[in-house]
């Protein structure tokens, strides 16, 4: 993917209302699936998933806790380095717990595959994955993606937690950045 021009206003892909409706639906589905199973531990993947997780967790009707993990593979680029760096590990032990990884986006799938493998080794009672956005081209290397908010094309999307070079993250909507060329 070529470089987005900085300073542009992103084209709206999902406005606040569309995001709210879809997050509501996901929360209902997740609450139904986990009902009666006890507590779910939501693992938010920083930094991109912070807004999605905040909205999702408040709409769940099941008992839940929250922990965070931070990874990075893009830096200031729009092409994955292919190497996922663990910047911050979970605070708590996940052995015997129902764990749901909460991502903002699955693009190449490298991050989710890395996290699923790493957390799976820690012996959780169950391990599922949820992402707000999923690129059609994503190849999560066999990692199941259990809950998907929206399927999207291979555009560079920003807002609602997603960034380009650490910009645009705080936009309330999800938009597409135009690329040069």
Active site residues: 107
Q: Minimal CB distance to ligand 7HP: which residue?
A: 107
Is 156 an interacting residue with respect to ligand 7HP (CB under 6 A)?
yes
Q: Which range binds ligand 7HP by CB under 6 A, 10-18, 60-68, 112-120, 152-160?
A: 152-160
Is 50 an interacting residue with respect to ligand 7HP (CB under 6 A)?
no
Is 129 an interacting residue with respect to ligand PRP (CB under 6 A)?
no
Is 149 an interacting residue with respect to ligand PRP (CB under 6 A)?
no
DSSP-assigned states of every residue in the chain: --PBPTTPPPEEEE-HHHHHHHHHHHHHHHHHHHTTS--EEEEEEETTTHHHHHHHHHH--S-EEEEEEEEES-TT-SS--S-PEEEE--SS--TTSEEEEEEEEESSSHHHHHHHHHHHTT--SEEEEEEEEEETT---TT----EEEEEE-S-EEEBTTB-BTTBSTT-SSEEEE-B--
Is 111 an interacting residue with respect to ligand PRP (CB under 6 A)?
yes
CB nearer ligand 7HP, residue 32 or residue 54:
54
Is 43 an interacting residue with respect to ligand PRP (CB under 6 A)?
no
Binding residues for ligand PRP, rule: CB under 6 A, are 45-48, 72-74, 80, 103-112, 163
Residue numbers at the binding site for ligand 7HP (CB under 6 A): 74, 105, 107, 156-158, 162-163
């Amino acid at each position: 993917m070529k470089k987005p021009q900085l300073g542009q206003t992103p084209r709206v892909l999902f406005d606040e209302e569309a995001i709210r409706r879809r997050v509501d639906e996901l929360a209902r589905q997740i609450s139904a699936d986990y009902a009666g199973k006890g507590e779910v531990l939501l693992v938010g993947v920083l930094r991109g998933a912070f807004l999605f997780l905040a909205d999702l967790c408040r709409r769940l009707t099941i008992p839940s806790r929250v922990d965070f993990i931070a990874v990075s593979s893009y830096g200031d680029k729009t092409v994955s380095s292919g190497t996922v760096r663990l910047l911050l590990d979970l605070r708590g032990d996940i052995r015997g717990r129902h764990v749901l990884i909460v991502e903002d986006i699955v693009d190449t799938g490298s991050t989710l595959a890395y996290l699923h493998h790493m957390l799976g080794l820690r012996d959780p009672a169950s391990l599922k994955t949820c992402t707000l956005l999923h690129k059609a081209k994503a190849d999560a290397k066999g990692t199941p993606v259990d809950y998907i908010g929206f399927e999207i094309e291979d555009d560079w999307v920003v807002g609602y937690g997603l960034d380009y070079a650490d910009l645009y993250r705080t936009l309330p909507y999800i938009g597409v950045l135009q690329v040069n060329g």
